[in-house]
Amino acid sequence: MALKMVKGSIDRIFDKNLQDLVRGVRSHREDEAKYISSCIDEIKQELKQDNIAVKANAVCKLTYLQMLGYDISWAAFNIVEVMSSSKFTYKRIGYLAASQCFHDGTDVIMLTTNQIRKDLSSPNQYDTGVALTGLSCFVTPDLARDLANDIMTLMSHTKPYIRKKAVLIMYKVFLKYPESLRPAFPRLKEKLDDPDPGVQSAAVNVICELARRNPRNYLSLAPLFFKLMTSSTNNWVLIKIIKLFGALTPLEPRLGKKLIEPLTNLIHSTSAMSLLYECVNTVIADCCVCVKTDTCPRPPQLCVQKLRILIEDSDQNLKYLGLLAMSKILKTHPKSVQSHKDLVLQCLDDKDESIRLRALDLLYGMVSKKNLMEIVKKLMVHVDKAEGTTYRDELLTKIIDICSQSNYQYITNFEWYISILVELTRLEGTRHGHLIASQMLDVAVRVKAIRGFAVVQMATLLDNTTLLAGSGQHKSICEVLYAAAWICGEFSEHLEDPVHTLEAMLRPKVATLPGHIQAIYIQNAAKLFAAVLNGQQGTPDCQTMQESSQLLIDRLPLFVQSADLEVQERASCILQLVKFIQKLQHKEVEVGEEVTALFAGELNPVAPKAQKKVPVPDGLDLDAWINEPPSESESEDEKPVAVFAEEELRHARPHHTEVDEKELARRREARKQEQANNPFYIKASPTSQKDSTGVEHIPVVQIDLSVPLKVPGMSTSDKYLKLEEERRQRERKERGKKEKKKKKKREKRSGMGRRHDSGPESEEDIAPAHMVDIVTEEMPENALSSDDDEKDPNDPYRALDVDLDKPLADSEKLPVRAHRPTNILKSPADDGEVQEVPKEPKKKSKKEKRDKEEERKVRLLWLRCPNGEIQCTCTKSSKHKKKKQKKDKEKEEKKRKKQHGHSGDREGEESVQNGTLEEEPLPVCDIQGNLQNGSQVVVSIIFENKSTSFLKSMEFNVLDSLNSKLQRPEGSGPHDGLTVPFQLPPGVSNEARFIFSVQSIVMPQRLKGTLTFIVKADDSSTHEKLDFKLHFTCSSYLITTPCYSDTFAKLLESADLKGTSVRLQEVSLPFHHLLAKICFHHHFSVVERIDSCASLYSRSIQGHHVCLLVKYAHQTVTIDAKCDESSLLGNVLEEIKKTFSQS
C-alpha cells in the first residue's frame, strides 16, 4: 500500500497541472481540439488512480475544459468522489466542478445527498460554506426535499457566515420544493432581525424575491419592512425593500400613499443612482395603482423631473434607464411626460441605437391629435437620414404603429396619412412592404371618406410600377402594389381615368411581380373593366368600351401563360369572359350592368377575433363525439375493407380502387411517356413562357437609386401639415367668433352662464378635416366579450403561492433527518413516500365528507401508514443501527365538531368538515430504529398532537410475535403496554424510542400495535385508541456496506454462497434510476457498473453477504443473486420485485 502511494506521488510529478493545461491550450491554437482530446485521455488515466490529489487535479482541469465547451458529464462520478474528499482543498475543487456541470438531469446527484448533508454539518465553516455554495447551483427537487431541514437548521448556525449562506440558499430550496416554504418561513422571518447585517440583508433578499412572485401572502410583513426601510442605511437592502413594496402596493393602495413620503425623502437625499432609480420606479408603480383607484395624490412630477435629469445626463446608461422609466409614467400620466417631448425627440438623434429605440417607444405614447403630424414629420426626417436598414425599418414600423394606434384615434386627416404611407413606399430595401400595404387597405376600406383620395394616389403608384418593381433587391416593397391594385379595382368608381389605370395594370412588366400580386392585378383589371363598361353605358360612343375590351384581349394572354396557377386561372377565365363580352359588343348588346353585377356588393372588414367570439349555440357540445370513435378492438386489417364495403353499398359511390405504390409508379411512367410524345404538352420549366428564351433571359439593368425619387404628381405629406395648420387656425378663429357670440348671448340672457375657458386648444377641440367614418370591424352577433388571459400553469413560482400566516399542519413538517446515520444511500423518490403519507389520507378523507364518524377517519389514516419499513445502516464505528420509517400519531375529538356543527344545514356541515380536516392530527412519520447489535431494533416514533385537546396517559403496545418482541422493563408482563414518557399539549410533538429484539432476520415481520391515550377537553375526558402496524422488511435488515470489486470477486468465487435469480419485466426506468432504487430501498451499494450491467453488494446485520448482478436489456431486468442465507435472499429479491411492480 505504501509503495502504491509513493508511486502515486511520483507519477504526480509528471502530471500536468491546471497551469500547464492552460498554457498548452494557448500554444496549440491551430489544433486545439486534437490537443484537448489528448489531454482528456490523460485525465481519464489520472481519474483511474486511487490518489485523491491526482483526481482532484484532473477534475480541476476538466472544469476548465468544460468552460471551453467540452463535455465532461462522463466524469460526474469522479467529481462526486472529489467532493467527498475530507480535505478542503479537494472538496472545494469537487464542489466547484459540480456546480459548473451538474444539472437536474445529472444522475449522480442522487448519490451526493449524504455527502452534502455531512458537509453541511461539518465543524469547519468553510466545508459547510462550500457545500452551500455548490448546492445553490445544482439543487434538485430531491436534494431540496432531503436537505431542507438541514439547511433550515443552518439558518440558526452560530457563525453569521453560514447563516447568511443558508438563508440565501433557502430561496432555491423553496423553488425546488415548495412544501418547505411554510415550515421554514417563521425562521426566515426571524432572520430579518438578525444581529449580523449580512444575514439580515440575505433574509430581505429572499423574502423580497418570494414576495415579488406572490405578493399577497406577504402583505402582513409590510409594517416590519416599513420599519426596516426607514432605519436601514444599506443601499443594497433598501433597493430590495423598495422593490418588495413595489410588489405589495398594487394589492394595498393605502400602502402606496404611506410610502410616498419616505420614498420622496430618499429620492431627494440619496446619491446612489441605483437607489434613486429604484425609488422612482416604485413611485411610478405606486402611482399606476393610485390612478386605478382614483386616489392619486399628485402626478409624479418629482419623478419626471429626476428622470429628465437622468435623460440629460451624458452617461448613456442613465439616459437609457431614464427613457425606460419615462415610458412607464407615460402609461398613467401621459400629460406629465408630454411636456418633455423636446427631450425625447432629441434622443432620436443619439448615437446609441438602443437609446433611439427607447425614445421611439416613448413617442408612441406621446402623440395626441395635436402633435401627431409634427412628430411623424420629425420621424420622416429621421427615416431619410437613418443609416442602416434595421433602424430605418424600425422607424417605419413605429410611424405606422403611432398612427394606427387605438383605431387611428389621433389621425385627424387621412389624406395626410395616405400620403405618408405613399412616401414610405419610396424607402429602399425595406422589409415592411406588407405592413404598408395592409395599412393602405385597412384605411381605404374603413374610412369611406378617404376612398376617392386613396384611389387617386394608388393609381399614381400603379402608374409607376417600373419604379417599384425595378429598384432594389428587396422585393418586399412591391407588396404595396397589391394594395394599390386592389384599392383601384374595388373602388374604381372614384378613378379619374379608369382606362389609363387599366392600361397600367396590364403592362407586360407586371408579369415580373410575384404571383399573388399578379393575380390581384388580373382580378382588379376585370373590376376596372366592368367600371369602364358601366361608365360608358348609355353614351353613344362605344369606342372606349371596345378599346378596353381589345386591350384586355391583347394583354391577358401573357398572363394565361403564367407559371403561377392562380394567375393563369384568373387570366384565362377573364380572357374568355372578355372575348364573350366583345362578341356581345359587336352585336351592340348592353352588357355593362351584367358585368358589374359580377363584382357587386361591398366587402366589410371583419374583426380578427370575430371567429373566436362566435358563441357556441345552446345544446352543442364541441367535445362530444358526433359519431362514436371506431372501437379499438377492431383489427387494423379488416377496418378499411369493412368501411369501404359499407360506403359503397350505401352511397353507390364511384368505385375507388386502392392503388398500390407499384401501380402508381407504372402510371406515372406511362404518363411521362405520353407527355414526351405529345407535341402540344409544354413541359414544366423555370419559365413557362412559350418563347423558350423567356423574359428572364432578357438582361435587366438594375437601377440602383440612392436618392429617393420624387414620384411625379404625388402629393407630399408636408403639404398636408401646412394645410392642416392653416385649417386649424381658421377653425379656431371661427370658433372663437362663435363662442364670443354665444357668450355674449348667454351673458345677455342670464348673466350667469358658465364661462368657457378658451385656454390652449384641447384635444377634443380639433375637428377632423372631413367627416371621417371609421368603420368598426364586424363582430358576430352575441359575441362573447371575455378576453380571458389564463395564467401560465407552468409558472415555477406558482407553487410558492401559499398562505404563510396559517399555522403549520403536521403534514408540512420538513423531513427530519438530523439524527440519522449519515451514510445511507438515499433515493429521493422514497422520502417522498414518507412525506406524502400524511397528505394522501387528507384527500381521501375529504372524499368521505359524509362520514361523520371521526373515528373512521382516524382508521383510514392508519390503514395508509402500516407500510412502515425498517432500514438498517451502519455507522463508521461499525455499530449497527436500525432505522424505521413511518408511522404515527394522531388524535381526534368529536367535541369540536359538535361545537361548530350545530347549525345542521349542509353548508355548515361541510365547512366544519373541512375545518376539522385541516386540523386533524395526522401521523408524523419520522420513525427511526437503531440496531445496536445483531438482534435489536430501535424504533423511534414521533408523536404529534394536531388536535386542539390535551393528550395524556399514552400507552404504546405491540403484540409480540415469536420472532420479534418489544422490550419491556423488567417485571412487566408480555402484554403490558409501555407508557410514553410525556404528555402532548395541542400542537406539540415529541419523540419516543422503543426497542425490539429480533431473533431471525431471514423473514420479514409485521407487528400489530395499538396506542391508547386520554383526550382531555375542558370539561370532559375521553379514552381513545389507535391501531397501527409495523413492518420490518428483510431489506431493512441489510446495511449499505461498500465493497471493493476484488473482494466482491473473491466472495463470488467462494462456494458458501447459494445463488438464485429473478427476472423483472417491463421495467421502463432508466438503468441508473433502477440501480438507485435498489440501493436506496434495499440498502445495496454499487460495486461496479459497466454499461447496463452492475454488481451490487450488501450485508445483513447478522453478517450475511448479499451479492447481486443486475443486467438490463429491453426493459427486462435480470438479477442473479448470491447469499449465504437463501431464505433471506429469497425475501430480499421478493421485496425488490415488489418495489418495481409498485412503480
Partner 1 sequence: MQFMLLFSRQGKLRLQKWYVPLSDKEKKKITRELVQTVLARKPKMCSFLEWRDLKIVYKRYASLYFCCAIEDQDNELITLEIIHRYVELLDKYFGSVCELDIIFNFEKAYFILDEFLLGGEAQETSKKNVLKAIEQADLLQENQSEDWGGLAAEEVL
Residues in 174-213 at the binding interface with partner 1, rule: CB under 8 A: 198, 201-202, 205-206, 209, 212
Shortest spacing between CB 1068 and partner 1, in angstroms: 22
Length of the chain: 1143
Shortest spacing between CB 254 and partner 1, in angstroms: 22
Q: Find the binding residues for partner 1 in span 223-252 (CB under 8 A).
A: 234, 236, 239, 243, 246
Question: Are 1097 and 1087 within 8 A, CB to CB?
Answer: yes
Q: Find the binding residues for partner 1 in span 620-649 (CB under 8 A).
A: none
Q: Which of 74, 88, 681, 982 binds partner 1 (CB under 8 A)?
A: 88
| Size of residue set near partner 1 by CB under 8 A | 74
927 scored as a contact of partner 1 (CB under 8 A): no
Residue 794 CB partners (closer than 8 Å, separation 6+): none
Taking residue 365's Cβ as centre, other Cβ atoms within 10 Å add up to 16
Q: Find the binding residues for partner 1 in span 572-611 (CB under 8 A).
A: none
Shortest spacing between CB 83 and partner 1, in angstroms: 14
Give dist(CA 172, CA 155) in Å, integer.
14
Shortest spacing between CB 141 and partner 1, in angstroms: 11
Q: Which of 54, 171, 328, 423 binds partner 1 (CB under 8 A)?
A: 171
> Across the strands, what pairs with 1100?
1038
Shortest spacing between CB 212 and partner 1, in angstroms: 6
Give dist(CA 588, CA 584) in Å, integer.
6
Axis-axis angle for helices 353-366, 372-385 (nearest 10): 160
Shortest spacing between CB 96 and partner 1, in angstroms: 6
Q: Which of 47, 54, 92, 858 binds partner 1 (CB under 8 A)?
A: 92
Taking residue 15's Cβ as centre, other Cβ atoms within 10 Å add up to 18
Question: Are 36 and 70 within 8 A, CB to CB?
Answer: yes
Alpha helices in 425-542 (DSSP H): 433-446, 451-463, 465-470, 479-490, 498-505, 515-536
Q: Which is nearer to partner 1, 109 or 711 (CB)?
A: 109
Q: Find the binding residues for partner 1 in span 956-1015 (CB under 8 A).
A: none
CA nearest to 866, candidates 901, 895, 841: 841
496 scored as a contact of partner 1 (CB under 8 A): no
Q: Which is nearer to partner 1, 2 or 652 (CB)?
A: 2
Distances (CA, A) of 302 to 256, 259, 267, 287, 412: 16, 14, 9, 12, 34
Q: Which of 18, 219, 573, 723 binds partner 1 (CB under 8 A)?
A: 18
Q: Which is nearer to partner 1, 297 or 796 (CB)?
A: 796
> Across the strands, what pairs with 1096?
1086, 1108
Shortest spacing between CB 392 and partner 1, in angstroms: 17
Shortest spacing between CB 1069 and partner 1, in angstroms: 21
Q: Which is nearer to partner 1, 246 or 821 (CB)?
A: 246
Q: Which is nearer to partner 1, 308 or 579 (CB)?
A: 308
The interface mask with partner 1, positions 34-73, x = CB under 8 A, is -----------------x-x------x--xx--xxx-x-x
DSSP string, 660-683: -HHHHHHHHHHHHHHHHH-TTPPP
Shortest spacing between CB 89 and partner 1, in angstroms: 4
Q: Which is nearer to partner 1, 252 or 313 (CB)?
A: 313
320 scored as a contact of partner 1 (CB under 8 A): yes
Q: Which is nearer to partner 1, 109 or 400 (CB)?
A: 109
Instruction: Identify the helix (H) or strand (E) that includes residue 205.
Output: helix 197-213
Amino acid at 570: R
Instruction: Identify the helix (H) or strand (E) that includes residue 1058.
Output: strand 1058-1064
- Strand pairing category for 880-885 and 978-979: unpaired
Shortest spacing between CB 164 and partner 1, in angstroms: 6
Q: Which is nearer to partner 1, 153 or 1010 (CB)?
A: 153
Q: Which is nearer to partner 1, 39 or 522 (CB)?
A: 39
DSSP string, 250-312: TT-HHHHHHHHHHHHHHHHH---HHHHHHHHHHHHHHHHHHHHHT---S--HHHHHHHHHHHH
**C-alpha cell belonging to residue 510:** 407586371
- Selected range binding partner 1 among 92-100, 252-260, 442-450, 961-969, rule: CB under 8 A: 92-100
- Selected range binding partner 1 among 95-103, 506-514, 812-820, 879-887, rule: CB under 8 A: 95-103
Give dist(CA 943, CA 924) in Å, integer.
7
Give dist(CA 563, CA 511) in Å, integer.
10
The interface mask with partner 1, positions 335-374, x = CB under 8 A, is ----------------xxxxx-------------------
Shortest spacing between CB 816 and partner 1, in angstroms: 24
Question: Are 462 and 481 within 8 A, CB to CB?
Answer: yes
Burial of 46 (0-12, 13-18, 19+ CB in 10 A): buried
Q: Which is nearer to partner 1, 361 or 503 (CB)?
A: 361
**C-alpha cell belonging to residue 1013:** 391515550
Task: Name the phi and psi angles at 603, rounded to 5.
Answer: -95, 125
DSSP collapsed to 3 states, 103-164: CCCCCCHHHHHHHHHHHHCCCCHHHHHHHHHHHHHHCCHHHHHHHHHHHHHHCCCCCHHHHH
Shortest spacing between CB 122 and partner 1, in angstroms: 12
Q: Which of 317, 390, 604, 1127 binds partner 1 (CB under 8 A)?
A: 317
Q: Which is nearer to partner 1, 789 or 1053 (CB)?
A: 789
Q: Which of 87, 671, 738, 1138 binds partner 1 (CB under 8 A)?
A: 87
Decide: helix, strand or coil at residue 1106.
strand
Amino acid at 417: Y
End-to-end CA distance of the chain: 45
The interface mask with partner 1, positions 102-131, x = CB under 8 A, is -xxx------------------x-x--xx-
- Selected range binding partner 1 among 137-145, 256-264, 301-309, 523-531, rule: CB under 8 A: 137-145
Place of cell 364541441: 622
Q: Which of 58, 101, 386, 1123 binds partner 1 (CB under 8 A)?
A: 101
In degrees, rounded to 5, the angle at the alpha carbon of residue 513 between the alpha carbons of residues 511 and 515 is 85
Shortest spacing between CB 474 and partner 1, in angstroms: 22
Shortest spacing between CB 197 and partner 1, in angstroms: 8
DSSP class of residue 447? B
Shortest spacing between CB 246 and partner 1, in angstroms: 8
Q: Which is nearer to partner 1, 360 or 445 (CB)?
A: 360
Shortest spacing between CB 214 and partner 1, in angstroms: 14
CA nearest to 384, candidates 345, 423, 351, 414: 423
